[in-house]
Structure 1
Amino acid sequence: MAKTLYQLLNIPESADDEQIHRAFKDIERHLLKREDDAGIDTLNRTREAFVILSDANRRIAYDRKLAASRLPQDLSPPATINRHPVSPWLQRVAIAALLLFPIGSWLYHDHQQTKQQAELERIQNDKAIEAAELLKNQREQALRENQQISAQYQDEQAAKRAEMELRLRQQQLDDARILTEQQLQNQASGLDLMEKRLNTDARAQEQNIAERQAELQYQKPAMAMALQEQKDQHLALQRQRSLKQHDENIASINSLRAARLKAYDRDHGNGGIMTSNPAVDP
């Protein structure tokens, strides 16, 4: 025997609209998880049952049809009906009942339609509230994701800036070191050039003295001796001056080199960058 619409929704035949709606939602939520043909067929029949029972007129028609199907098949009306006289009072009551029945039926149908409209509005409001909550949650999720992306981007930018600052600082240190080494090389080259000039001057003076000595060999012995003494004195004095000047230059250069190395070690040891220009400052 086929199930009735009430049996499909698992509700009694006296259930109201709220019970019908709640039962249909529970069954629909359960059947939507199934993907087999039987589940889909059951869901379709359940929806048809809900459509019929949620409409007052269609539900009354179905209840009448259901009641008629439950009558015995061999039940038949009597062949004859005994007619008895009806009193006028009963006739008036029957006429009043017939007049009041359409009004009552209309009031009942109007009440059922009002309840159905209120139920539909409540369902629509529930759906609107659920949609608003879903939209709110989606916006909050998007906002949290945007905040996380923004924080990650700021961290990456800060790391890049720190890396660039570190590279710039290292480049400044390398430039300062290269400049200091070049200055030390230039100073050493200057010292070598000065020493060569001193040696060249000394050899030139010795050569001049030798030439004059050769010229004086043809002069008188006394003059030759005087010139020799003068030459020896002048050469000794010149050598003393040259050696003294050389020693002073060497000491000055060594002092300058030591001061610059000490300043370079102090600046680089403290992690600072030299602000002076070694090529210009003495």
Structure 2
Amino acid sequence: MSVKKSAIISIVGKPNVGKSTLLNRLVGTKIAIVSNKPQTTRTRITGVVTKGDCQFVFQDTPGLHKPRSRLGDYMVKVVNDTVTDVDIAAMVVDPVPHIGPAEQELMERMKQYRMPSVLVINKIDTVKNEDLLAVIAAYSEAHTWDAVVPLSAKTGENCDILFEEFEKFAIEGPQLFPDDMLCDQPERQLVAEIIREKMLRNLEREVPHGTAVAVEQMRERDDGLMNIAATIYCEKNSHKGIIIGKQGAMLRKIGAEARKDIEELLDTRVYLQLWVKVKEGWRNNQYQMRNFGYENE
């Protein structure tokens, strides 16, 4: 069946509510990195799902937060731009009956642009039904939602209902992406993000937030092995030491975990080489940010 309609959906919310986990669940494969640290997602990632005659285009965005650097300003701009240029805004929230400033700001934008909005209450596998009712009541009082869908991105519960709600707002028109396309990010960017995810999961405090990854080489050898060389950039010499670890132990751990996910992504065996370099203050340097793909010309 050919695609006859499409819906562009922005997945928004404060940091750490499960937006990237939800995107991966909806697309059916890992295209967005996930960690329990806020501001894991730095840029807009597009996931594509083609179901029957409808194509769903999902945009995962950084969590809305108070920026403290040029990189932070860029991340907030990504959220604001995405909310204004889509068919549907899906706001993901934790299952607690408290509305914070990030949610208030996003709801104001939805009202301002009069766009269809769906409230997605995530992590329902962690709460009782009566607690869920209090969450629905609090958000229903604050905003007029076109749909409210409680679900679990972790288990997949009710994700099929979310697709049904999104399809109601699909617009007739030409197909936006090829049938077999799942993500708009080039393989190099996905590889770099996987390496950054492993740092977020293994390193403490502020260290991983000051890192960026550049994939210098991806080359397939005659024996089918994929050679990948990547450089991890950090802001301080002390951070470089932490990333490398005692006798290189931490860097080896990051590399081993990243290689496993990269092999799954590329469906081939991988030889991964990692280096660590210091670039002081890169998060406030427009030129360096552009090099890492975080700011447009």
Q: Higher helix proportion, which one?
A: 1
Q: Higher strand proportion, which one?
A: 2
Q: TM-score range by the shorter chain?
A: under 0.3
Larger Rg: 1
